[in-house]
């Protein structure tokens, strides 16, 4: 499953957010099984109201949402890359995540100590970014000698890696995070294999006071501006409110959200922004047995999308019976869509659209 690291200085609201995320999943017990792999990893169902609508129409016995993992990375403080706080082992936790959610403290509360003694989310983010840059520098510098040796020995792959390592080092030595490097499309995969902390797709989570949960405040505006400049995404969330929402049942939740002027829990927005950030989207398979959401990349073809279910589906792909989500709902299911001519037969070049209801035909 997709893995997102939750990162930030102490006392910014990371654990509050993490607990809200995992409790929400637990609260949706029957349909959204929740399990914790490790104490700091939360396996969370991706909120998807469309899946419930599809299951209701098809009378599906089971609803299986897509999953996303959140990793609570504690212990990041100034000096972490030098082993301060919980130090390096926690930086390693971030390395195998697909994206990083940076939590920034955008609330004032005199009772809650700030490690730096002032509320300034931008310099908090700078501190974290500096630590991640130092960690990247260190891990890259360690690799140079070995790569040079192997590249000289004629190993093409090492030569490519070495070139990219040098590209990243050039940025980092100038005090710029690795994501600012210009990487050619054909190098994309090798670049990602470097697992650089400062090259991961980033989502800035502005943890605001309860009164600012709907529109944010001047601190979150500043963070949003920084995110936009860095090509990152940002969301406004009140971790405290989210932890309260997490404990409500579906009916109470809708009512509570309305009173505070929110359309959906902030956590849902956070998950959806993570999807967008990573270029992901959803298609569905729907039947009497189960209704299920599958995660694919924007631009994936029908066979590639089938491959997410099983590699045999991709290899033996013949065609896909496809109904757009809106048609499926409007025409009340497969039979209605077929009758109205809204069930399409799509071939191997079809680019799957978000919300498509798919049925794959394949050879075994």
Output 205 or 329, the one with its CB closest to ligand GDP: 205
Using CA atoms, how far apart are residues 337 and 343, in angstroms rounded to an integer? Answer: 6
Using CA atoms, how far apart are residues 357 and 364, in angstroms rounded to an integer? Answer: 22
Of 292, 273, 270, nearest to 283 (Cα)? 292
Angle, helices 88-95 vs 121-152, to 10°: value is 80
Burial of 16 (0-12, 13-18, 19+ CB in 10 A): middle
Residue 210 CB, shortest distance to ligand GDP, in Å, is 7
Torsion angle (degrees, nearest 10) of CA 76, 78, 80, 82 = 180
Residue 160 CB, shortest distance to ligand GDP, in Å, is 39
CB 293 within 8 A of CB 46: yes
Beta bridge partner(s), residue 202? 100
Output 81 or 243, the one with its CB closest to ligand GDP: 243
Question: In this structure, are strands 317-323 and 344-346 parallel, antiparallel, or unpaired?
Answer: antiparallel
Residue 237 CB, shortest distance to ligand GDP, in Å, is 8
Residue 323 CB, shortest distance to ligand GDP, in Å, is 42
Output 32 or 107, the one with its CB closest to ligand GDP: 107
Residue 254 CB, shortest distance to ligand GDP, in Å, is 22
Angle at 192 between CA 100 and CA 97, to 5 degrees: 30
DSSP run (H or E) holding 100? strand 99-106
Output 71 or 137, the one with its CB closest to ligand GDP: 71
Q: Which residues lie near ligand GDP (CB under 6 A)?
A: 8, 10-16, 107, 109, 112, 207, 209, 238-240
Residue 70 CB, shortest distance to ligand GDP, in Å, is 13
Output 124 or 327, the one with its CB closest to ligand GDP: 124
The dihedrals phi and psi of 279, each to the nearest 5 degrees, come to 65, 35
DSSP run (H or E) holding 321? strand 317-323
Output 10 or 79, the one with its CB closest to ligand GDP: 10
Output 239 or 352, the one with its CB closest to ligand GDP: 239
Residue 204 CB, shortest distance to ligand GDP, in Å, is 15
User: What does the block give as tokens for 240?
Assistant: 């405290």
Chain position carrying tokens 């792959």 = 157
């Amino acid at each position: 499953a997709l893995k997102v690291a939750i990162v930030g200085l102490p006392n910014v609201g990371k654990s509050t957010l993490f607990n809200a995320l995992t409790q929400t999943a637990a609260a949706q017990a029957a349909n959204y099984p929740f399990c914790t792999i490790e104490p700091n990893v939360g396996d969370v169902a991706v909120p998807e109201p469309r899946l419930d609508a599809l299951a209701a129409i098809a009378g599906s016995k089971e609803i299986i949402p897509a999953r996303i993992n959140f990793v609570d990375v504690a212990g990041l403080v100034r000096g972490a890359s030098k082993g301060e706080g919980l130090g390096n082992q926690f930086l390693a936790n971030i390395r195998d995540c697909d994206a990083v959610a940076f939590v920034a403290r955008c609330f004032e509360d005199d009772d809650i100590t700030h490690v730096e003694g002032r509320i300034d989310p931008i310099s908090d983010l700078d501190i974290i970014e500096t630590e991640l840059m130092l960690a990247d520098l260190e891990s890259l510098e360690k690799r140079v000698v070995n790569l040079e040796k192997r590249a000289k020995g004629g190993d093409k792959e090492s030569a490519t890696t070495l070139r990219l390592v040098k590209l990243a080092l050039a940025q980092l030595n100038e005090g710029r995070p690795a994501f600012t490097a210009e990487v050619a499309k054909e190098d994309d995969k090798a670049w990602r294999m470097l697992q650089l902390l400062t090259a991961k797709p980033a989502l800035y989570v502005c943890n605001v006071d309860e009164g600012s949960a709907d529109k944010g405040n001047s601190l979150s505006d500043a963070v949003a501006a920084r995110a936009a400049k860095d090509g990152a995404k940002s969301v406004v969330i009140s971790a405290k409110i989210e932890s309260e929402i997490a404990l409500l049942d579906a009916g109470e939740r809708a009512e509570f959200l309305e009173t505070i002027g929110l359309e959906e829990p902030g956590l849902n927005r956070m998950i959806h922004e993570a999807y967008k950030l990573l270029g992901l989207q959803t298609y569905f398979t729907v039947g009497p047995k189960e209704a299920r959401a599958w995660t694919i990349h924007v631009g994936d073809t029908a066979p590639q999308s089938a491959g997410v279910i099983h590699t045999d589906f991709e290899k033996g792909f013949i065609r896909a019976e496809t109904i757009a989500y809106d048609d499926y709902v409007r025409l009340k299911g497969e039979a209605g869509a077929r009758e109205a001519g809204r069930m399409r037969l799509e071939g191997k070049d079809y680019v799957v659209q978000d919300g498509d209801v798919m049925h794959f035909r394949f050879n075994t």
